Amino acid sequence: GQQVMQIPQYQHVQEGEDFTTYCNSSTTLSNIQWYKQRPGGHPVFLIQLVKSGEVKKQKRLTFQFGEAKKNSSLHITATQTTDVGTYFCAGQRPGTSYDKVIFGPGTSLSVIP
């Protein structure tokens, strides 16, 4: 079946350092979504990418969708303690329901003040 993988599983950074998490799918995706889950919290939608090679920015966060639509990345510039949490990517396979996205295992980010 379709697999969505993320690396790294854990990342510890000093506050002010940059952070990147990578999402890779075993199959081409229609779109990819990114969610953030704070410790003890619930997933919160961040963004959706649809087009091949698409790049979107939200303040210090930059999201990219690969040319082949099989991978994506989330880059955070100059991390802050408020960035702490687990970042999940979730992908939809072409021909499947929009609802049935497959979540990756997440990258847990710790920021050391």
Partner 1 sequence: EPEVTQTPSHQVTQMGQEVILRCVPISNHLYFYWYRQILGQKVEFLVSFYNNEISEKSEIFDDQFSVERPDGSNFTLKIRSTKLEDSAMYFCASRYKFMNTEAFFGQGTRLTVV
| Residue ranges binding partner 1 (CB under 8 A) | 33, 35, 37, 41-45, 48, 88, 90, 97-106
- Sign of torsion over alpha carbons 52, 48, 111, 82: positive
Smallest gap from Cβ 26 to partner 1, in A, equals: 15
Smallest gap from Cβ 112 to partner 1, in A, equals: 21
Contact (Cβ atoms closer than 8 angstroms) between residue 23 and residue 36: no
Smallest gap from Cβ 6 to partner 1, in A, equals: 9
How many residues are there in the chain?
113
Distances from the Cα of 53 to the Cα of 14, 49, 50, 62, 99, angstroms? 30, 9, 9, 13, 23
Residue placing its CB nearer to partner 1 in the complex, 20 or 103? 103
